[in-house]
Amino acid sequence: MSKNPADDDNNNDKPLSKLLVVDDDTDIVQVLKMGLLKNRFLVDAFTNPEEALQSFKSNAESYSLLLSDMRMPALSGIQLARKVKEINPNVKVVLMTAFEIRDEEYSKVFPSSRVDGFLQKPITIRDLINKILSLIGESESRRTNED
């Protein structure tokens, strides 16, 4: 008889995955980081995309997903995504934007950029968690801690 890992109390403390979160808005970074930490993700959060890239370069294999704002000064989310994928093509990339973007339209405009998904701001922590889990292959559905 196989046991569901979600039923194992010891498993509840184990982080699901390590994420790199980047947005030039400090408040957004803090809210995202807190929501993700409450839901058992390890999070490295940055407001400077160039600093985030340096951190990624030093430990590229430890990250499973980059969550980045699309529009930032110095280095855009698209540029950051491209550089991250060059270093580790297995990392999933989700870009956040205030504008509605359809994946198929984006891939026509930016064919060389391999972005795995988009999220339109504002986003709830629950929707964010569901998107991340769908991309990193966590199939178990679980209740998120939003408060």
Structure tokens belonging to residue 17:
């995955």
Exposure letters 47-58 (e unless 16+ CB within 10 A, then b): bebeebbeebee
C-alpha distance from residue 54 to each of 1, 26, 57 (Å):
46, 19, 5
Residue extents of the structural domains in the chain: 13-136
Structure tokens belonging to residue 9:
């109390």
Describe the crossing of helices 49-58 and 77-87 by its angle, rounded to 10 degrees: 10
The pLDDT score that the predictor gives to residue 114 is 75
CATH second-level architecture of 13-136? 3-Layer(aba) Sandwich (3.40)
pLDDT-flagged residues of the chain (< 70) = 1-13, 100-113, 138-147
The pLDDT score that the predictor gives to residue 110 is 53
Residues sharing a CB contact under 8 Å with residue 76, sequence separation 6 or more, in sequence order: 49, 70
The pLDDT score that the predictor gives to residue 88 is 96
Q: What is the pTM of this model?
A: 0.79
The pLDDT score that the predictor gives to residue 14 is 74
The pLDDT score that the predictor gives to residue 113 is 60
